[in-house]
Structure 1
Amino acid sequence: MKDDKYKLLSQVAYLYFIEDISQQKISEKLGIYRTTISRLIKEAREKGIVEINVRDFDTKIYALETHFQMKYHLKFIQVVPTDLIDSDQEKDEGISRAGAAFIKQRLEKNSIIGVSWGRTLAQTIGCIENRRNTHSVFVPIVGGPSHVNTRYHVNTLVYELARKFGGSSQFVNATVVQESKALKEGISQSKYFSELHDYWSRLDLAIVGIGGKLTVKDSQWRDLITSDDYEDLEQREAIGDCCCRFVDRDGKVLKGSLYERTIGMDLTDLSRVPTSVGIARSKPKAKAILAMLKRGYINALITDEETALEILKISDDLYLQEYLA
């Protein structure tokens, strides 16, 4: 390259990237067309005169997120990096912080927010600081458990979100699984429940957890499931649940006696919410998360690297080999 051309490229690059002068001002300063300045900046980068490095940005994780986003048509995804030496507690804390940041960034004023419940969502909400007024309405989208630490109860989570974001809250006064279909229908058709149903149809954001396989029985609500329910779910190869709705590996909702006795938002309705974010991690939950992605029940996901790689593995995704290379 001739010395004069190289000098011009270097000068334009210096003015633009170091002095932070606009392309229009550089054009006026050097007496060169604005379009030429743009071309020279691009050429300076292509020829290696300018090298741009962004600190503390994991390009490999970003590529993984991009792959998931494109494959499953997601509005948003965040994969929290993990290390082999990380404990489960550290991994839980990682996605809880990420989930809290997502909620703070995405929650707009005068919104209607639906919330399911569980340990992960409780930890996520606990990480939210810096209160602000949004005048939003926070509502449960599932019934409550039979008995549980109150910090994990859906009404507690709804109340805490309303308190932290200066909004109002609605509560649910029924357990998620009723003894019979008739009892469930009686509650669902009651006057007090009609207001919740109306809110469900107008949600702007839904925040949900995802439950894993049936062998994990230490969840916050599965004590309500009968032995007959378990037998039926096992025969139909249930791999997990969301909003207390069980699905198989293809994301098909398993309807039947349990489904008809369950108070919770249908997953088809969840898929219609403008932004529905699942916050979940762990290898045992990978099949359930994958099922939710395949059916489009959620359009945003916060998980960790370990779980994302397990999803690639069980779905026979060729990108796994590229990622591990």
Structure 2
Amino acid sequence: MITQVDSQEYRLCVRVAKLYYENGLTQNEIAQKMGVSRVTVYRLLNKAVELGIVEIKIHAPFGENFDLEQDLIVRYNLRDAVVVPDPEGDESIYLALARGAADWLKRTLKSGMRVGLGLGRTISHLPLVFSTDEPINCTFTEVVGGASDHSGGFAKYNVTSKMAELAGGKAEFLYAPNMVSSAELQKSLLNEPSISQALERARRSDIVLQSVGTVDETAILYVEKKITLEQLREIQNSGAVGDALGHYFDCNGQMVSTFLDNRIIGIGLEDLKKVPWSVLVAGGEEKKKVIQAAMKGAYFNVLITNADTARFLLSERN
């Protein structure tokens, strides 16, 4: 290794490396001390790494899952990723994912931020596991209309207000259903100032937390009896494999037009792409291909999922 440079340059590399890594001097301070330019110091530090004078080791604190997170960030060009352990015993996948989302939100949430919340089983578990060390002057807002009484206990009004209460912030509500009976009614409601203003606030969210849904009989709109089995089959036949915010996409992440596009009250998939922190919280066997499709569509720049799903998303066949 030493033969790649002359002995004088090698000595300079060692000296600069010691001053920088052992003595804690800045590159500017080293340049002044040695009477060279900062560019020269930068070059010598890089050369010290190339020659093996300096070895850089990264000690990841979270083991295998940390590596999975990094690989997901690289593979799908994400801003961040969180991989939670696969649930064991009686713990549900929803609670495990919510715990990961709550931890991520606690680290990311700052005063003045607006957090948009979608509708779903996973998001409904957030208030069970979320907390902050001190009150944060933030706002939790709704990005889709409300669930019905058939929601099985995950009505978003309670989630939004509870999250705001837990953070010490405030809540903003979208006083409209998540789905209406006709395109004409949707158009009329979207023109209502209180609703249009609420949706505009939602689009200005700094963070949006949302899950994705499957196109089967566990779909929220079907569970809520908002769509019939025949309509569900129609969506399946359109090529859709999943949805976010009531808007559907195919296996390649491309948006699929359905009759629901003119019925849903809420922000859309293109809106998600513009959010600084667009967070997908989803995992489990039945969601794997839906998550994969959503990642291909680049609707989200943060993924919170479980280890088994992460390995699926990173497998060579994908």
TM-score w.r.t. the length of structure 2 is 0.77
Q: Which residue of 2 is the match for residue 68 of structure 1?
A: 75
Superposition pairs of residues 138-157 of structure 1, within 5 angstroms: 138-148=141-151, 150=153, 152-157=154-159
Q: Which residue of 1 is the match for residue 22 of structure 2?
A: 18
Contact in 1 for aligned 2:249/2:255 (Cα 8 Å): yes
Contact in 1 for aligned 2:186/2:265 (Cα 8 Å): yes
Superposition pairs of residues 237-256 of structure 1, within 5 angstroms: 237-256=239-258
Structure 1's 4 and 235: CA in aligned 2 closer, same or farther, altered over 3 A?
closer
What residue identity is the alignment partner of 1:281?
G
The 3-state SS of whatever aligns with 1:169 is: strand
The 2-side partners of 1:137 and 1:80 are apart by 24
Structure 1 gaps of 5+ residues are: 318-325
| Candidates 125, 136, 141, aligned match of 1:123 | 125
The 1-side partners of 2:90 and 2:241 are apart by 21
Q: Which residue of 2 is the match for residue 280 of structure 1?
A: 282
- How far off is 1:301 after superposition? 2.5
Deviation larger for 189-198 or 155-164: 189-198
The 1-side partners of 2:146 and 2:171 are apart by 15
The 2-side partners of 1:247 and 1:11 are apart by 57
1:205-256 C-alpha deviation (Å, 9 max, x unpaired): 3221111241435x58623232222221232243222112333324444444
Contact in 1 for aligned 2:145/2:266 (Cα 8 Å): yes
Q: Is 1:40 aligned with 2:41?
A: no
Q: Which residue of 1 is the match for residue 59 of structure 2?
A: 55
TM-score w.r.t. the length of structure 1 is 0.76
The 3-state SS of whatever aligns with 1:206 is: strand
Identity %: 25
Q: Which residue of 1 is the match for residue 223 of structure 2?
A: 222
What residue identity is the alignment partner of 1:127?
F
| Candidates 303, 306, 320, aligned match of 2:305 | 303
- How far off is 1:159 after superposition? 1.2
How many equivalent residue pairs? 308
1:237-293 C-alpha deviation (Å, 9 max, x unpaired): 432221123333244444444444433323233334344221111232122223323
What residue identity is the alignment partner of 1:145?
S
Structure 2 gaps of 5+ residues are: none
1:296-315 C-alpha deviation (Å, 9 max, x unpaired): 333333234422332355x9
1:47-102 C-alpha deviation (Å, 9 max, x unpaired): 222222222256743551343243xxx4x13041657x956848655543442344
| Candidates 276, 290, 293, aligned match of 1:291 | 293
The 1-side partners of 2:308 and 2:211 are apart by 17
Q: Is 1:80 aligned with 2:83?
A: yes
Structure 1's 167 and 139: CA in aligned 2 closer, same or farther, altered over 3 A?
farther
- How far off is 1:106 after superposition? 4.1
Structure 1's 7 and 127: CA in aligned 2 closer, same or farther, altered over 3 A?
same
